[in-house]
Each structure stands twice: as structure tokens, then as C-alpha cells.
Chains A and B, each alone.
Chain A
Amino acid sequence: MTLNPPPTPHEPRPGRTTGTLEIKDLHASVVTDEGDKEILKGVNLTVKSGEIHAIMGPNGSGKSTLSYAIAGHPKYQVTSGEVLLDGENVLEMSVDERARAGLFLAMQYPVEVPGVSMSNFLRTAVTAVRGEAPKLRLWVKEVKEEMAKLEISGEFADRSVNEGFSGGEKKRHEILQLALLRPKFAILDETDSGLDVDALRVVSQGVNHVAQSTDAGVMLITHYTRILKHIHPDVVHVFADGKIVQSGGKDLADELEEHGYVKYAGKPEPASI
């Protein structure tokens, strides 16, 4: 596989303030019954609005922990470091405050919430993030359009959040939420996993559309190079043993494509499938 040519260097859109997500020397532990175990061991990363950063790493390297720690999952304890969103420390915010400040995490395993309809959930979330309830008529139209782009059938609006959804349906709905919540920065945690070729295309188009139309910064966390055919990162990082160990451009992804993670994981582990 060859990746498409590197994208042109990012130019901030006129009229929009460029934002920054800065992760500084972030250390985090997972809380287990046996005690705390350090997973993140000093992550440094700066993402600017409009940039797409691919964060690639072998299994168990701590990529998902990074996303959960930034979003504020209670299972993960940040022990030192900072995460600044436009200079504000998000680590001092509650989970919902982080979302309202402009962070979004598309989860690898979206959670089922029985008895809560997708439409109620989406409207409640959008009302919270935008600070006011969207006008009903405009809202219905907006949701329909975004659902159509992601090839989601209308009946999903009445179904319980993620309940009984296939893996691909869950991922489409994560991107639907991304499109409706329009965050400043989005972390996509293995959004590509479990997607067939069609679903990967649809989901990737959705991400690209949001990134381009809202100028969001994107952290694309993935194990495989496959999604990079569809979403072209500005920067590629290799994540191993709890931190970023190498950064580069397209060449780095090409190298992973060819050699896998052997160099980083200490054992052969392909990055392509």
C-alpha cells in the first residue's frame, strides 16, 4: 500500500481562532484491585486546530489509556502532567465539563444505555454542549442530514443508545455525535476497528467532513495503517510503552506498514492487515 501524498501544511481558516490541545509530560495509572499500575509514562503532544495526528502503537502500549485519561474516565488516575485546551487545564474539569469545553472522545467500545432513545440522547447532549436547546425544526433537519451522510437509517433514532447495534453501527453513531457536537478537538480511539471496507469508507468520510468543515483538531488513535488510506494525517506518532517514541510524516506510516511494530514492541506485530 502507498499512502496518498502528504497534505499541504495546515493553514488556519480565516475567521477562526486557532486552538491548541497540549499534552505535557502526562503520567497516568489504571486503578485495579491489585493497586495502581502506571500506563502513561510521560506523554508530550501538541495538536492544533485543523491538524490530524495519527497515534499508532502496538497492543498494550497505552493508546486507549491516553484517550480515556484526557476524557476523564474514573478508572484512570492522572499522576502528573497537564492537558491544556487553549491554555486551560482540562484535568481539573469533570468529564462533562471537558466535553462542554470542546473535547470529544469517539470510543472504541461505545456503551449501551438501555431505555434511552438515540434521539433523546443526541438532543440532550447537543443542548448541553451548545448551551441551549436547538430549535426543533432545524434540529430534525440537521440530524437527518448527518445521519444520511453516515448512511444511518432513520429507525435508529428510536432505538436505545447503542443497544443491539453492530460494531459498525456503533462507530457510525460515534461519528454522528462528533458531527453534531462539533468539538474543538476530537480523539478517535480505534474508530477503524471492526469496520468492513464500506463502513470504514463511510466513517472516514464523516471524520474528514467534520475535520474540514469545523477545523477541529483530530487525534486518530489506531493500531493499523488501513484507515490512513482514507484519513490523511499531518503527523504520524508511534506510541509505545506509555509514550510517544517517534514522530514523523507519511514515511513513518509507510515504515510501520512495511515492518510493523517489531522495533517498538520488541516482538513482531504487524501494523497492516
Chain B
Amino acid sequence: MTVVENNTGPAGPGGTNTASAVEATIPAASRAERFTGYDVEAFEVPGGREENWRFTPMKRLRGLHNGTAVADAKITVDVDAAPEVTVETVERGDERLGKGGVPSDRIAAQAYSSFTEATVLTVPTDTKASKPSLVRITGPGEGKIAYGHLQIRIEAFSNAAIVLDHVGSGTYADNVEFVVGEGAKLTVVSVQDWADDAVHVSEQHLSLGRDATLKHTVVTLGGDLVRVSPTARFTEAGGNVEMLGLYFADAGQHQEHRLFVDHAVPHCKSNVVYKGALQGNGAHSVWIGDVLIRAAAEGTETFELNRNLVLTEGARADSVPNLEIETGEIEGAGHASATGRFDDEQLFYLQSRGIDEQQARRLVVRGFFHEILTKIDVPEVRERLEAAIEAELEAVESAIA
């Protein structure tokens, strides 16, 4: 067994109003103990001090967490699916729903208790989808509240790519289930490209069957507050999950990604890479990476990494990797987390070759995200993200200028 623990501290000097945190590796209570349930009333109303909520600005949740946010509108779901994929809109009583995972916080349970209809995409057994399927979710509108539910089913030995694109305004909470069958392969990219006012809280349940492969990429760019909690569970041995993330928080934005990988069965792999850039006053990113290797999960191999690049003063990145290991019979487990300011040495090096400061900054930030972008194997999405990052960088420049 190899256990690698590599906690690198802040790369740059800490500023007065730029802070970063890399914290302890074991949470106060084991992730194994965390309560889950479908019924919102089974959860206490969080006050903000709980481990699960301590980084979230509760007031900006607009009541999603305490029952006061009552649905008064609907989201719009537009699906452009590959011809092999079945698309259904189902009632909340559909028995397939909820099989991919159980809500693990009050807002996820609120969403589960509140949605009226769900969208289900199914890729039948032994089928390769001929193109990526695009699911566009448009928010309920400014000042409106909605709850939703989405399930993506990739049946045994199938192969598909799905893009979830979140746009528009309003307050929205949902659960998304990815149920990946035996030997099946799913690539998913969830883009949170909300308008500035939007609040989105989402639990994404990743369920992997025997020898299933899932590449789950989260890209968060917009919104006032976005909190995405991807939870990966292996139902049988041989699963392989890759969880990638890219976020770019601007002034005033709160972007939170809380990951949980639950290794409960033997011989599964997980690899987590999240990278974020922050700029502007009050830009805040939170990354929590909980990995639990239960006693039965022999032969597990896991690694998780989070890197944050703080581009300006006044932005804050919190990064907390947690690794709990209940068996010694594993292949390897490790994590790394680092938050740094823009590296002046890189800037100097590039400028000393005649490249002006703006262009040098762009090169460095593009380079920072390069590792994630090259792994997004849906070309249309990759191109769009490259363009979005360019746009963010232009915003940085005007902020600095």
C-alpha cells in the first residue's frame, strides 16, 4: 500500500485580504456517518456552523435550506439527444428515480421532496450513442424559485457523452443521477454558466456498476452562488471514476464544489482533479474533497488534487481534502492541494522574452487550465470553455487596468 499525503501550502505570500486554507485531512466526523435521506423533514435546518455548511453564505441561499423557498416557477429543459438515446419526462412517482443516490444534505432533500417532474435520458444496453447529447436547463427566471430532477441512465456495455448546460436566472436546486451500468462508459460535462443573479444548489449522484467508467467534469463559471456536490458510489467492483472540475470565480461569486467518493467495494479507482481561478473582491471558491475507503474496499486506488490560482487581491479560495482509510490493503491513496497567487517569476520569465504583461498573464492562466481542458473530450464544449476563459481573462485585465 502506498499512502501519499502531499499538502503543499500557499505558493505565494499571503496578502491581508487574500486568504487561502488547506486544512486537516480527517474531518471531524467520518463521512461514513453522514446522514442521508429523501425526506426534507428528516434533516435539521442548518444554521451555517455545521461541517457541511460552514463555508456557504447561508443568507444567499434564499431559503433553499430552511423551507422558505417555495417553488413558484419551473425550469425549462431542452434536450438535443443522440438518436440512440431515449428522452422521457416522468412524474415524481416513477420508480426508477432515486436509485442513483440518496440526498445527503437538506437542500438536496428539499429538491427531492419538491420536484414535480423529472427528465430521464436512457441509453439502452449495448449501444453507442453516435453524438453527445445536450441537455440545456434554463433557470426559472429572476426572482423565481424552482426544483428539478434529472436522471441519466447508461445501461450495460453502452457508451455515451452527455452535456448538461445550465443557463439563465433564478433560484434552483436539484438532484442529478448518473446511473452507469455494468461495463458501460459515460462522459459527462456539467456546465454552470448561469446569469449573475442565479443561485444553484445541486447534488450529483454518480453510481457506477461493475467495471463501469465515468468521467464527470464540472465547469462553473456563472451565478451568484453555485454549490455542486458530486457524490460517487461504486455498487460493484472494477469501477473507475474520473472527476474533473474547472471554475472561475469573479468578484462577489461564491462557487462551492463538495466531492465525496465512497469506496465501499474492492478494486475501484478514482481520480479527482479540480482547478480554479479567482479574481475580484469577494470572489470565493470552496473545494471539499472527501474520499472514504471502507474496510471492504481492498485494492482501491485513489488520488485527488485541487489547485487554485488567485489572480487579484480580495479573493479567497478554501480547499479541504479529506482522506479516510479503513483498510491497509489498497493500491494507493493520496491527495494534494495548493492555492497560490499569480507567480511573478513566471510573469517575469515570459515578459523577459518580449511578451507583454497581459499576454503573459493569459498564457499562464490558459496553461493552468490546460490539463483539465485537454481532458474534456467533447470538442464543442472544449472550444466554448476556451472562449469563456478568454472572456474571463479580458475581465481580469479590465479589472486590473
Binding site for B on A (CB under 8 A): 71-74, 94-96, 98-100, 104-105, 107, 110-116, 120-121, 124-125, 128-129, 160-161, 177, 181
Give the number of A-B contacts (CB < 8 Å).
83
User: Do B348 and A74 have beta carbons less than 8 Å apart?
Assistant: yes
Residues of B within 8 A of A104 (CB): 352
Question: What string of 1s and 0s marks CB contacts (under 8 Å) between B355-381 and chain A?
Answer: 111011001101111110000000000
Given contacts A95-B348, A111-B346, A111-B348, contact A116 B364 (CB under 8 A): yes
Given contacts A100-B354, A128-B356, A177-B353, contact A116 B366 (CB under 8 A): yes
User: Do B363 and A116 have beta carbons less than 8 Å apart?
Assistant: yes
| Complex A-B, nearest 10 residue pairs according to Cβ-Cβ distance, in ascending order | A115-B367, A115-B370, A125-B353, A99-B354, A111-B349, A128-B354, A95-B351, A129-B354, A116-B367, A96-B351
Binding site for A on B (CB under 8 A): 343-346, 348-357, 359-360, 363-364, 366-371
Complex Cα spacing A111 to B344, Å: 10
Residue on A nearest B356 in the bound complex, by CB: A96
Residue on A nearest B358 in the bound complex, by CB: A96
Q: For residue B10, give the distance in angstroms from its CB to the closest CB of chain A.
A: 15
Residues of B within 8 A of A129 (CB): 353-354
Residues of A within 8 A of B344 (CB): 74
Residues of B within 8 A of A111 (CB): 343, 345-346, 348-349
Residue on B nearest A110 in the bound complex, by CB: B349
| Most chain A Cβ neighbours within 10 Å, of B344, B345, B368 | B345
Q: A115 contacts which of B352, B353, B356, B369 (Cβ < 8 Å)?
A: B369
Residues of B within 8 A of A114 (CB): 367-368, 370-371
Complex Cα spacing A104 to B360, Å: 17
Residues of A within 8 A of B359 (CB): 124, 128
Q: For residue A51, give the distance in angstroms from its CB to the closest CB of chain B.
A: 22
Complex Cα spacing A71 to B369, Å: 29
User: Do B346 and A128 have beta carbons less than 8 Å apart?
Assistant: no
User: Do B349 and A99 have beta carbons less than 8 Å apart?
Assistant: no
Residues of A within 8 A of B343 (CB): 111
User: Do B354 and A181 have beta carbons less than 8 Å apart?
Assistant: yes
Residue on A nearest B343 in the bound complex, by CB: A111
| Most chain B Cβ neighbours within 10 Å, of A113, A114, A120, A128 | A113
User: Do B367 and A125 have beta carbons less than 8 Å apart?
Assistant: no
Complex Cα spacing A260 to B357, Å: 42
Complex Cα spacing A264 to B224, Å: 63
Q: For residue B308, give the distance in angstroms from its CB to the closest CB of chain A.
A: 14
Q: B366 contacts which of A71, A94, A99, A115 (Cβ < 8 Å)?
A: A115
Complex Cα spacing A96 to B359, Å: 11
Complex Cα spacing A104 to B350, Å: 12
Q: Given A113-B367, A121-B353, A128-B353, 5 other A-B contacts at CB below 8 A?
A: A74-B348, A104-B352, A110-B349, A113-B364, A115-B369
User: Do B367 and A160 have beta carbons less than 8 Å apart?
Assistant: yes
Q: For residue A163, give the distance in angstroms from its CB to the closest CB of chain B.
A: 9
Complex Cα spacing A104 to B352, Å: 7
Complex A-B: 17 CB contacts under 8 Å:
A73-B348, A94-B356, A95-B348, A95-B351, A95-B352, A96-B351, A96-B355, A100-B354, A111-B345, A111-B346, A113-B346, A113-B350, A115-B370, A116-B366, A120-B363, A129-B353, A129-B354
Q: B353 contacts which of A74, A99, A112 (Cβ < 8 Å)?
A: A99
Residues of A within 8 A of B348 (CB): 71-74, 95, 111
User: Do B370 and A121 have beta carbons less than 8 Å apart?
Assistant: no
Q: For residue B16, give the distance in angstroms from its CB to the closest CB of chain A.
A: 15
Residues of A within 8 A of B363 (CB): 113, 116, 120-121, 124
User: Do A94 and B357 have beta carbons less than 8 Å apart?
Assistant: yes
Q: For residue A147, give the distance in angstroms from its CB to the closest CB of chain B.
A: 17
